[in-house]
A and B are shown apart, each in its own frame.
Chain A
Amino acid sequence: MKKIITLAAALFVLITAHAQSSPLEGAVSQLNAAQTLAAYQELANTFQRQASTDAKSWLPLYYAAVCNMKLAFLQKEKAMALSAIAEEQIVKAEALVPAGNTKDLAEIYTVKSFIERSRVEADPMSNGRKYGPIAGKYLAKARQLDPQNPRALYLDGHIKYHTPALWGGDKDKAKALFSEAMQHFNQPPASTVAPQWGKADCQKML
């Protein structure tokens, strides 16, 4: 009997909870835990579907772009096609960011920079010259819009870490950027759906 009541209660909680938390919220929390290719692919699709029914919010498109960008980093042979999709999504997301919202715009430019960077890393020899400077330009813009954006700080560190010392790479500087990013990652996000991904990647570098 008790079991049934507990089950019913649990089910009730589950269903109401399900009804209360928005699908976006659910997907964002899944993204925070995502690690595998399949998980990112599933989320990319989920966010894209959410975007298709929500023509006003920049976040679903933004997150779809983030997932496709992640996939581009994970699958070098498909990176160019994936980054093209991510770029299309982030451009659409940018148009939906309310005017004057520099923090959100910084998130957009950070992802734009990540997308270009995924193109560089897909084939540094053929793409580096073309996309490296664009990635740098977007990152500079993001850093200027919001100097405390942890994802921009992390990307800055990532680039410094992977560039040989002679050409401006600096592993110590990279470490400093990672720890600075970590401090900001440790602040609670502005909302449950505000950009908050990247913490785990950054943690790994420290």
Chain B
Amino acid sequence: MKTFCLLCLTGLLATYNANAQQIIGRVTDKSGRGLEGASISLIGTADGATADSTGRFRFGTASHPPYRLTVSYIGYKTTTADASAGSEIKIVMGKDPSTLQPVVISAGAFSAGDKNKGAVMTAMDVVSVAGNGGDVANAARTLPGAQQIGEREGLFVRGGAGSETRQFVDGTLVPSPYFASMPGLPQFNRISSPFLFDGIVFSTGGYSAAYGQGLSGALILETQDLPEKSSAVIGISPMVAVAGVQKLAKNGRSSLGLSTRYMTWHYYAKAVPQNPEYATGPAYSITEANYRQRTGKTGMLKVYANFGYHQAELYREDIDSAALLNRFASTDRNLYLNISHRSRPGKNYRLDLGAALNYNSADISRGMVNRDKTTTHPEGPVFAGKFSEYRSRERSLQGKAVLTRYFEGGHLVLAGAEAQIGEMDELYAGFAEGEWRLHHAVALRTGARWEYSRLSGKGNIAPRVSLAVRTGTYSQINAAYGIYYQQAERRWRMEEPSLPQAKASHYILNYTRKENGRIFRAEGFYKQYDRLLKTYPSTNMSGSGYANGLEMFWRDKKSVPNFDYWISYSYLHTRRDHLDYPLPLQPDFAAPHTLSVVAKRFFEKISTNVNVSWSLAAGRPYYDFTPDHQIRQQGTTRAYNVVNLGFAHMLSLFPKWKQKDFTVIASGINNVLGTRQVFGYDFSYNGQTKSPITLPATRNYFIGIFMSLGIDRTEDYLNDNL
């Protein structure tokens, strides 16, 4: 009985084992590490197994040899292998390059928005940087490479002047992005609302051959396509009133938008005294209109118009005479029209057409008045330079066409032409560029740009090269080289029509690591100015200079939930001999060390976003030149140290409405600590007195309420803070 039972048992086991040919093996990567979770299956059957933590597997099968296995694992190329029962099979899997993030050519550039593969921030990040006033260019100042300049507008990049960083909208250059400059005060950007754009690239050098005329940098903005829904926005604060609508057509193929904004410092200055005295404004009126239309299957037509009006009248103590005041008055009108069309004329082609028209009129008057504001004309060389009447009417027209051809394997070649027609000169440009995926881990961009000015009769060729090499799953090394040209401002070319273009060469080396919401970026650069404008003793292009430095950027939005911060540090060493400098000097807009910290935290329970930005910069040099341009005095200002604080409380005032409103109550204080900021000095005629150029008021306060209906920014806030 016992024997019988045992036989039975053996028999049972035998039948069980009969359909159990054992297949054993191990799956590893090329370095021999076991791939836990790899799926092994026997072709033609449902038999198979999953590799354990050491990569080993074992399974039984009732099928008959020959055995062929297919092995798959996420991120690796699926492989097949022959197997035989009983002997261990070794399977080595190779990485599948197509699952890795593509290499992005990114030396010198910071990008924001959905459209950009290498984006480091979103439009909402830009708008929520404390103290930037919703201005893209101001937000870019918290990134490495940009100087903290508080007394004038513009992005001062890597030892370059503000005018060396140009702004582009949908491919074409914006000739006058800022309202007319005011002495000692920064000016607003005309076209800077971050919500207008869904692609923002801030390049601190080494940018593509498709752009030109920015010696140091470029702020490349791409406007949005059609909005998702119709919407309306209104906002009010003591300084600003805003109203706008955006209507999406029923068929979803076109949209029309209109918005207008009025800003004045007039009332604010009455509550918080400002120095200089704000007699009129500064006041601004900005009206924008846009029309977007899908054309055909692939086309997108965008028309954007911006009309800006600005008026200011300021009085400041005169440095040479205690009894007198300097008067500055300006009126500025600007019409900007941008038309662009994008289409795909063939499967592998993309055609971008753009045209822009700009009309600018500026009337600027400088003079002297008595304490009672009556006009006076004191005689003598001391006051001679304090009077001027400047009237300018400037029209410009641009056209640009770019054709891109995409090739198998991710390569692309583009070629384009551009014409910029100004009041007295025309600039023609042609460019070609190729992007080559040499290997799944190597991308190379090679391009050249040719520019010709009719007035000077001179042509230039600017080669540009940028390379990206992936060094790990999340890291890459980038390098770039390029030559950049920029024409002198019109008034200098009127004086000296044959002026060649200013010229700079950029050399950039960059390491970027992006992983799970954290970004680390280090970039070293060398910039050589081969030609810079000199205005004394004569107007020519014999100036020169150089800049080199090292920049770091760290952003982390993962470590602490609802908390996001970034830190930028820039080291800059630069000398230049330009304008009326008697010798190569560190320019007065270049601080050797700049540190910016931006931190944002969303408090979900109270629906409030708190933003802090802190900027610290080493002192900048200042110079006092004698009338014959010799250095009479020089020194270094105190360090710049500013903390800005911003709050945005989000609520819905009328939650019962069909179109629920989304309301933001925003408030902020700039320079919370009340630190005294000195940007430089004004010197008296005899050099015996100096007066600091500083903020118009120690602190600046802001409060406003903005309500939007229909589509709102909820998604943006939500996604930023979820």
Contacts and interface: CB of A to CB of B under 8 A. Distances in A.
A166 B650 contact: yes
B715 A129 contact: yes
B6 A4 contact: yes
A11 B220 CA distance: 73
A5 B5 contact: yes
Contact of B8 (A8, A128, A130): A8
Given A1-B5, A15-B12, A124-B719, A38 B46 contact: no
A81 interface: yes
Contact of A128 (B45, B50, B52, B715): B715
Contact of B41 (A38, A41, A49, A77): A49
A23 interface: yes
Interface residues of B, number: 48
Interface in B15-30: 15-16
Given A123-B517, A125-B557, A81 B75 contact: yes
Nearest to B602: A164
Nearest to A60: B46
Nearest to A43: B50
A42 B9 contact: no
Given A23-B46, A81-B99, A129 B719 contact: yes
A126 B9 CA distance: 61
Contact of B39 (A7, A12, A45, A126): A45
Contacts of A164: 604, 607, 718, 721-722
B87 interface: no
Contacts of A76: 516
A165 interface: yes
A4 B8 CA distance: 10
Interface in A1-58: 1, 4-5, 7-8, 11-12, 15, 23, 37-38, 41-42, 44-46, 48-50, 52-54
B651 A50 contact: no
A137 interface: no
Contacts of B722: 120, 124-125, 128, 162-164
A103 interface: no
A173 interface: no
Contacts of A78: 74-75
Contacts of A120: 722
A81 B52 CA distance: 21
Interface in B497-521: 515-517
A156 B39 CA distance: 32
B74 A85 contact: yes
Nearest to A8: B9
A30 to B, nearest CB: 12
Nearest to A40: B37
Interface string B704-719: 0000000000111111
Contacts of B99: 81
Interface residues of A, number: 44
B63 to A, nearest CB: 11
Interface string A122-144: 01111111101000000000000
B119 interface: yes
A48 B39 contact: yes
Nearest to B13: A11
Contacts of B721: 164
A9 B16 CA distance: 14
B48 interface: yes
Interface in A40-91: 41-42, 44-46, 48-50, 52-54, 76-78, 81-82, 85
B36 interface: yes
A15 B651 CA distance: 64
Contacts of B47: 49
B516 A77 contact: yes
A125 B48 contact: no
B571 to A, nearest CB: 30
Nearest to A48: B39
Nearest to B38: A45
Contacts of A53: 44-46
A67 B393 CA distance: 68
Given A11-B13, A164-B604, A129 B114 contact: yes
A23 B40 CA distance: 17
Contacts of A82: 74
A166 B718 CA distance: 9
A53 B718 CA distance: 44
Contacts of A125: 122, 517, 557, 719-720, 722
B650 A46 contact: no
A54 B114 CA distance: 41
Interface of B: 1-2, 5-6, 8-9, 12-13, 15-16, 36-37, 39-41, 44-50, 52-53, 74-75, 99, 114, 119, 122, 515-517, 557, 604, 607, 650-652, 714-722
Q: 8 smallest A-B Cβ distances: which pairs? A: A128-B719, A45-B39, A124-B722, A41-B37, A42-B50, A53-B46, A45-B50, A49-B41
14 contacts: A5-B5, A8-B5, A11-B13, A15-B12, A15-B16, A50-B46, A77-B516, A78-B75, A85-B74, A125-B720, A128-B719, A162-B722, A166-B607, A166-B650
Given A45-B39, A54-B46, A124-B720, 10 more contacts: A8-B12, A15-B12, A81-B74, A81-B75, A81-B99, A125-B557, A125-B719, A128-B718, A128-B719, A166-B607
